[in-house]
Amino acid sequence: MNRHRLGFLIVTLALSINAPAFAHDMAEMEEMDGHDMAPNAMGGQMGMGTHMMMTSSRPQTPNDIERAHDVIDTLRRTLVKYHDSRVALSEGYRIFLPTVAQEVYHFTDYGAASREYSGHFDLAHPGSILYVKNSSGDYVLVGAMYSAPADYTPDQLDALIPLSVAHWHAHTNICLPNGITLDDLLRGDIGATHPDMPGTMPMGSPSSAPAINRRLGFLADGRFGFTGKIADAAECEAAGGRFLKQAFGWMVHVYPFNGDDLKVAFGTSVPKPPAN
């Protein structure tokens, strides 16, 4: 299996850090001098930018609307059993970076992911199931993510889910610190055990450094990663990193549980969990 074809796990890397969860860690980080530390995350409100490429909208047709509602109806039927996240885990889904606070958590089926990145699309079996956490820390099902090969054309993506209702996205201009590969990220290795790696907190910093490194690794450094400050190959190399013009293939989120409004179901905002 080509592990790079499972790359969509990151998505949407899934490293969307929830600021309140990091309040204590960030307070201690700010005590440091000369180290540019900040939560490195993918925002819940996706949009075009240095690190994000999205497909252009197309004129909507009645057939597009019918196909989009078919996606929503299919997901409502097939995901219903996964309202209990333990069912997903019992069936072999794996949580990407479960100890890192995120806005949306990806539970991924590696087999389905591999098939998607090989060009085999199964509407009833998305590669990832998406959850958010409520105030009690419980996982709340919000949707699913489909993926497609990086070399797919807009016409090929449109054939899967219409570009008139959805925006497929890809992650671009990514700088990862030397010593971290995409394969490492898929395994959950963010350099937590390597305090000398660019982006991790030096051991001479506050006493909480080992704990923060275990939790965040290089993600605590605002220079690196999927929304990092670095978006240039030369700057990445100078910072001790490796530059990726595009990381992984195409991805699209679908949120089928908040009514029939296609703008919501195929929107770029992660639904908020219900109040307890």
Dihedrals phi, psi of 8, to nearest 5 degrees: -60, -10
Residue 9 pLDDT: 39
Beta bridge partners of 145: 128, 253
Length of the chain: 276
The SS3 of residue 49 is strand
Residue 7 above 80 pLDDT? no
CA distances from 152 to 116, 119, 148 (A): 12, 9, 7
Structure token pair of residue 133? 């956490």
Q: Which residues pair with 247 in a beta bridge?
A: 171
Q: Could you report the per-residue pLDDT of 175-229, keeping only the tens digit for each? A: 999 989 988 887 778 887 777 788 776 655 555 666 777 777 887 777 888 888 9
pLDDT at 150 over 90: yes
Q: What is the dihedral of CA 98, 101, 104, 108, to 10 degrees?
A: -10
| pLDDT score, position 185 | 81
The answer on pLDDT for 242 being more than 90 is yes
Give every CB contact of residue 72 below 8 A, 6+ residues apart in sequence. 254, 256, 260, 262, 265
Q: Give residue 149's pLDDT band: very low, low, confident or very high (50, 70, 90).
A: very high
136 or 5: which carries more pLDDT confidence?
Answer: 136
Residue 151, exposed/middle/buried by CB under 10 A (0-12, 13-18, 19+)? exposed
pLDDT tens per residue across span 214-230: 777 887 777 888 888 99
